[in-house]
Chain A
Amino acid sequence: MIALQARRSRRAEQFALNVLRLAAASVILAMAALLGYLAFEGTKTFYVDKFPLSQFLFSPDFSVDQNHPGAAVFIIGTLAVTTFAIVIGGPFGIAVGVFLSEIAPARMNQILKPAIEVMVGIPSVVYGWLGLTLLVPLIRTHTSSPSGFGLAAAGIVLAIMILPTVITLSEDAFRSLPPALKEGSLALGATRWQTIVRVLLPSASSGLAVALILGIARAVGETLAIQMVIGNATQFPSGLFSPTAALTTEIVTDMPGATEGSQLEHALFSMALLLLVIAMVLIVCVRFALRKRA
């Protein structure tokens, strides 16, 4: 009787394990299918339409109707808005992270934490809409930009959108430091500011690198919010207020009308593949930074 029960529970255990294995396998399968499909569609620009990779990467002339799918404008556009966002949002986010972990009293944390969580929960279309109705007219009336659309509007919207990621991860980076570091520094007579700048910041650097890289990843992938304010002009940004376009915004702008099998569709798929490659490179960077910490 006891043996029977034991066998039955072993069978149940085996069953549960198999369910878990199946779940894990299906995740891997879904990822592999996605990668395979994107790689297949995204390379058609090169092996079906026979355009050289160098033209796609380095030519600024995106005239698919005239046999010229150069995506350089969108690549530079993505780099420019991402740089803009991280230059503004990065230091600001880390500063808030320091404040939350080292300076803010517990009461302050109770208010700030939920506020940051709400920022994560706001859909990107809402950020875009606010950008379109508040930021764009503001830039139009206060700068030389005739329309208000462009790099600055997109960069500012993005900087706000990556804040929660950078804040949360940099706060974690500071909190995971051994308390002895801070205690030792204070015991030696250092002020709180000296402790933060000379001891805590350098010790947390790899964690902060992760925070910034994931912020960059978020910025590179953001689509709808910046499409609404960047202007979607196929030209290199010539200044802070110049309208331009990014990889994601170009895909979403031209995707609805791209006929199946057309050069335009293939070129858009190639851009999607490029975005995936960028995301993978960034994840490898994160792994690298984490390993250095361990």
Chain B
Amino acid sequence: MKRNAAFAALLLGFSVVATSTPSFADTNISIAGSTALLPLVKDASGAYQQAHSDVKISVSGGGSGTGINQVAAKAIDIGDSDITAPTHPELHDNRVAVIGFAIIVNPSVTVKNLTKKQLQDIFSEKITNWKEVGGPDQKIVVINRPRSSGTRAVFTKTIMNGIPVNESGLTEDATGTVVSVVKQTPGAISYAAFSGTHGQGLNEVSIDGVAPTDENILTGKYPVWSYEHMFTYGPPTGEVAKFIAFVAGNAELVRKDGFILLKDMKVTETDR
């Protein structure tokens, strides 16, 4: 009898805790996905939570594929991605910014410009020495991203034109790792988001004479860029919609983290 009473009290205690939790934070927003977009979403969530104490936002990475999978499974509220999600018609595409991707080369290689054709030949390993493109006599070390990476999808789409990337290159799975490996390895070449490459002391080469700058992306001259997407299951509502608008409209944070404001773009693309 006494034991039953204790059990009941325990149950009661649990239910009190359970029902009282929501009053600490009225809305929870969970976000995961692209590591390229991560810095912006993290900064924006900090600023948003400061202004709205009743909203709690949890942000994590995992990659574009993870973001799309998780939001399609309704496990999270927003899935961040560098690529579109054509196989998931139920997802609503909210574009929040534009990101450029630089071709990065180890500083020991003095080549300042590569043509699209030369890039295709390097990444399909038809060209294997820097001297073939006007550089020093040094072996080219190609560093790829994993097959499922959003960054790699953008690169193959805008540069490779359907030519398969040679898989015998090294593969590193995060922007940060790629940048540090290119920095350390003589002769290395790879590609990564501006937000990770600018100001790192790397050789960011021009493509067909066009330098990897925001200005050249706005005007449509530099080809390697994509929209950053924050996918929701169906059109966003309530605080989720407000937060997405906050991210896209926050000019200061967008620029600080190396992204380009949507409204600054002078060209548009439908399928990026």
Contacts and interface: CB of A to CB of B under 8 A. Distances in A.
A269 interface: no
Contacts of A147: 141, 170, 181, 185, 188
A64 B147 contact: yes
12 contacts: A146-B141, A147-B181, A148-B185, A231-B170, A232-B171, A233-B170, A234-B167, A253-B171, A256-B65, A257-B148, A257-B149, A259-B65
B150 to A, nearest CB: 7
Given A146-B139, A146-B185, A147-B188, A260 B73 contact: yes
Contacts of B147: 64-65, 254, 257, 264
Interface string B201-240: 0000000000000000000000000000000000000000
Interface in B159-189: 164, 167-173, 181, 184-188
Interface residues of B, number: 31
B46 interface: no
Nearest to B88: A259
Instruction: Give the most central of A63, A253, A256: most B CB within 10 Å.
Output: A256
Interface string B63-81: 1111011001100000000
Instruction: Give the most central of A257, A258, A264: most B CB within 10 Å.
Output: A257
Contact of A256 (B62, B87, B169, B181): B62
B166 to A, nearest CB: 9
B196 interface: no
A245 B171 CA distance: 9
B146 interface: yes
Interface string A246-275: 000000011011111000100000000000
A127 to B, nearest CB: 17
B65 A231 contact: no
B173 to A, nearest CB: 5
Contacts of A259: 65, 68-69, 87, 148
A228 B252 CA distance: 36
Nearest to A255: B148
A221 interface: no
Interface in A123-155: 137, 140, 146-149
Contacts, number: 75
B191 to A, nearest CB: 16
Interface in B3-42: none
A195 interface: no
A62 interface: yes
Shortest 5 CB-CB contacts between residues of A and residues of B: A257-B148, A257-B65, A234-B167, A235-B168, A232-B171
A248 B147 CA distance: 16
A264 B148 contact: yes
A42 interface: no
A243 interface: yes
Contacts of B171: 231-234, 245, 253
A257 B64 contact: yes
Interface in A19-72: 62-66
Nearest to A242: B168
B168 A256 contact: no
Given A64-B147, A257-B65, A257-B149, A146 B184 contact: no
A140 B187 CA distance: 12
A235 B148 contact: no
A146 B187 CA distance: 8
Contact of A62 (B69, B149, B167): B167
A235 B150 CA distance: 22
